[in-house]
């Protein structure tokens, strides 16, 4: 059997909000264990596309989709899809750090607990592992019982990453994860993403083109809901094929 | 200079209007405690609060308020048992479960229920609920049910339990604390539901998103994230609901039965504090001991509701500053 290296296959995929077509007929493959960045000006549909990969758009009542998104060969918009299972395997980290108003420990243990893990020793282990992987353990190991909201912005965002990692996802979706952070916290998160990429697939939406250039393997450029260009990050940034892409990455609009 | 004088004038008018209402409230409070002080001074605080006999017109009179206090307590507790789960459940339904269209209809409807005149509820309890309880429910529970139990011939059930039903489920009058609690529940549900719904809706969308993105379903999200995050608002809803029940006068005056004895069972009548005040104030001679004693009841009632609103104020202030993404 041929090993599937494309973890997501998006085929003729469109998303509507009511009558508005936010994402238009996109076909795109996302490779496993790589970082794929989605860039483009505000309102181009990049967050919408990202959120469709674990069906977070379901929460918006008026949204509907056309086409297919295959996750490991299985259509996630099929009516028999277990959305709960999908979201466990495809996690998400949001623009603004959003820890729950509970302790650091409880934040990370949330996912395992709803999955049914009850034994304290097992939870302890999962929590520690996740915090270590999110590069936060050293900073919070003495204050696991303090509020997650008492951490700094960058720490909170890494806490949110740890919270997702505790579910052992295969993919993590990042929706502008550093846009609310200072440069040092941003650098920490970027290093972390490159470390995580060794074990999981990462898709990141970013406004920051340097960020996309620094950390991603592949870059998708979207404009007004359409996929304009997709390719190796190096190619996109050094030698863009499309005039729009070139104008955007050189800062002529955006 | 014209506009400055105008501004000054507006300022003076607005602030004096505000001051007048505060002043009036303060004066009422002062008057209340001044009139109440005399009875506590004359009879003694402990004798009043723990006195078992409320015979204000006997000779010599007795002003033990314990039966009134326990009447209020019993009615409030019975109501709380029903109104808190129902009110909170309604809030969760409206805020989290109902679809948009149902919500649009239900929320104003619940809020309208809050403005329902309580005299109408009292009247309804008196002419509908009370007869149902004494004429219909009582024979079933205290005659048919024991008969049925006796016919089973099972030890304990056919003897002890049947006897217990016969004794305890006989409702001699429909005007009792259960009827009052049922009506007060209708009064309290909209208060609790409406405040609790606001509290649930105020939980940031980002919390729900985080929960869903971790693979939680709707109930897990409601139970483990939304409710804990709004627990301060929910407690305020419950406390204000209880405050409404304690202060509610017309319903208890009409359906609680009016007997100034400590209720021992859910079908006993009671005379809660507001009912005593409303029923007796018109009859009490001006500046008599009875008159001062009723002011004493007023003062106690005022203190209880005042403490409740202080607690709810404290809770909502303490937790208001916690917002998503900000330091607690």
Q: CB–CB of A55/A76 below 8 Å?
A: yes
The verdict on a CB contact (< 8 Å) between A114 and B204 is: no
Q: Residue B65 has which token pair?
A: 């308020």
Give the one of A88, A115, A149 whose C-beta lies nearest to B322's C-beta: A149
How large is the average pLDDT for residues A174-186?
Answer: 92
The verdict on a CB contact (< 8 Å) between B100 and A61 is: yes
If pLDDT is split at 50, 70 and 90, which confidence band does A60 have? confident
Report ipTM (2 d.p.): 0.91
Give CA–CA dist A194/A215, Å, rounded.
7
For the stretch A101-153, pLDDT in tens is: 999 999 999 999 999 898 999 999 999 999 999 999 999 999 999 999 999 99
Taking one residue from A and the other from B, the number of pairs with CB-CB distance under 8 angstroms is: 85
For the stretch B14-26, pLDDT in tens is: 999 999 999 999 9
Give CA–CA dist B210/A59, Å, rounded.
12
Give CA–CA dist B220/B196, Å, rounded.
19
Closest residue on chain B to A173 (Cα)? B213
Domain B66-320 falls in which CATH fold?
MetI-like fold (1.10.3720)
Chain B hits for A98, CB-CB cut-off 8 Å, are: 204, 206-207, 209-210, 324-325
For the stretch A211-246, pLDDT in tens is: 999 999 999 999 999 999 999 999 999 999 999 999
Chain A hits for B326, CB-CB cut-off 8 Å, are: 149
Q: Residue B15 has which token pair?
A: 């602030």
Closest listed residue to residue B298, CA positions, set B24, B28, B60: B28
The H or E element spanning position B114 is: helix B100-114
Give the per-residue pLDDT at B323: 43
Q: Which of A95-99, A241-245, B160-164 has the lowest mean pLDDT?
A: B160-164
Given a cut of 80, whether residue A253 has pLDDT beyond it is no
Closest residue on chain A to B206 (Cα)? A98
Chain B hits for A91, CB-CB cut-off 8 Å, are: 213-214
How large is the average pLDDT for residues A160-165?
Answer: 96
Give A97→chain B minimum CA distance, Å. Answer: 6
Give the one of A87, A94, A153 whose C-beta lies nearest to B215's C-beta: A87
Q: CB–CB of A181/A153 below 8 Å?
A: yes
Higher pLDDT, A184 or A4: A184
Task: Determine contact: A150 vs chain B, CB below 8 A.
Answer: yes
Given a cut of 50, whether residue B284 has pLDDT beyond it is yes
Using only C-alpha atoms, what is the Rg of chain B? 25
pTM of the model: 0.84
Task: Give bridge partners of residue A6 from the DSSP assignment.
Answer: A31
Q: CB–CB of B324/B206 below 8 Å?
A: yes
For the stretch B191-218, pLDDT in tens is: 999 999 999 999 999 999 999 999 999 9
Give the mean pLDDT of chain B.
90
Mutation for A interface: B205, B213, B218, B227, most A CBs within 10 A: B213
Query: Domains of chain A by range and CATH?
Result: 6-249 (3.40.50.300)
Find residues 200-239 of chain A whose CB sits inside 8 Å of chain B.
Answer: none
Give the per-residue pLDDT at A107: 95
Closest listed residue to residue B161, CA positions, set B142, B186, B140: B142
Closest listed residue to residue B232, CA positions, set B322, B128, B113: B322
What single-letter DSSP state applies at residue B109? Answer: H
Closest residue on chain A to B221 (Cα)? A114
């Amino acid at each position: 059997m041929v090993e599937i290296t494309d973890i997501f296959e998006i085929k003729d995929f469109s998303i509507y909000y009511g009558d508005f077509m936010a994402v238009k007929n996109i076909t795109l493959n996302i490779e496993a264990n790589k970082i794929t960045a989605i860039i483009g000006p505000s309102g181009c549909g990049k967050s919408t596309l990202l959120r469709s990969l674990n069906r977070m758009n379901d929460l918006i009542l008026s949204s509907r989709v056309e086409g297919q998104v295959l996750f490991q060969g299985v259509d996630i918009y099929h009516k028999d899809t277990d959305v709960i299972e999908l979201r466990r395997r495809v996690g998400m980290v949001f623009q603004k750090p959003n820890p729950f108003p509970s302790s650091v420990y409880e934040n990370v243990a949330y996912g395992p607990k709803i999955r049914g893990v009850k034994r304290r020793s097992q939870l302890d282990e999962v929590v520690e592992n996740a915090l270590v992987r999110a590069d936060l353990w050293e900073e919070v190991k003495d204050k696991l019982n303090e509020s997650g909201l008492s951490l700094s912005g960058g720490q909170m965002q890494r806490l949110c990453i740890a919270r997702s990692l505790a579910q052992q996802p295969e993919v993590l979706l990042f929706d502008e994860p550093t846009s609310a952070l200072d440069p040092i916290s941003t650098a920490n998160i970027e290093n972390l993403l490159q470390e995580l990429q060794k074990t999981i697939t990462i898709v990141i939406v970013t406004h920051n083109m340097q960020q996309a250039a620094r950390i991603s393997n592949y870059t998708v450029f979207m404009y007004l809901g359409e996929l304009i260009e997709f390719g190796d990050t190096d190619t996109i940034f050094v030698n863009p094929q499309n005039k729009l892409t070139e104008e955007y990455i050189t800062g002529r609009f955006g | 200079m014209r506009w400055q004088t105008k501004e000054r004038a507006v300022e003076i008018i607005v602030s004096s209007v505000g001051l007048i209402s505060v002043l009036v409230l303060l004066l009422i409070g002062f008057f209340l405690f001044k009139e109440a002080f005399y009875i506590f001074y004359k009879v003694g605080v402990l004798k009043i609060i723990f006195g078992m006999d409320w015979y204000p017109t006997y000779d010599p009179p007795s002003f033990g308020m314990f039966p009134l206090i326990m009447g209020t307590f019993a009615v409030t507790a019975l109501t709380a048992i029903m109104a808190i789960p129902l009110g909170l459940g309604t809030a969760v339904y409206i805020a989290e479960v109902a679809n948009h269209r149902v919500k649009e209809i239900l929320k104003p409807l619940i809020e309208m229920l809050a403005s329902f005149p309580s005299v109408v509820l009292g009247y309804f309890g008196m002419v509908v609920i009370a007869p149902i309880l004494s004429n219909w429910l009582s024979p079933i529970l205290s005659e048919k049910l024991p008969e049925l139990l006796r016919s089973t011939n099972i030890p304990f059930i056919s003897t002890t339990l049947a006897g217990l039903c016969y004794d305890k489920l006989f409702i001699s009058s429909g005007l009792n604390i259960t009827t009052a609690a049922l009506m007060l529940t209708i009064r309290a549900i909209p208060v609790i539901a409406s405040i609790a719904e606001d509290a649930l809706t105020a939980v940031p969308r980002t919390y729900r998103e985080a929960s869903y993105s971790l693979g939680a379903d709707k109930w897990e999200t409601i139970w483990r994230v939304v409710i804990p995050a709004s627990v301060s608002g929910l407690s305020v809803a419950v406390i204000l609901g209880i405050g409404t029940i304690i202060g509610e006068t017309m319903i208890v005056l009409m359906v609680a039965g009016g007997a100034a004895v400590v209720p021992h069972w859910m079908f006993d009548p009671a005379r809660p504090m507001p009912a005593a005040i409303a029923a007796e104030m018109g009859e009490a001679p001006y500046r008599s001991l009875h008159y001062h004693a009723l002011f004493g009841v007023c003062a106690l009632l005022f203190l209880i509701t005042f403490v409740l609103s202080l607690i709810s104020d404290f809770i909502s202030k303490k937790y208001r500053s916690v917002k998503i993404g900000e330091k607690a």
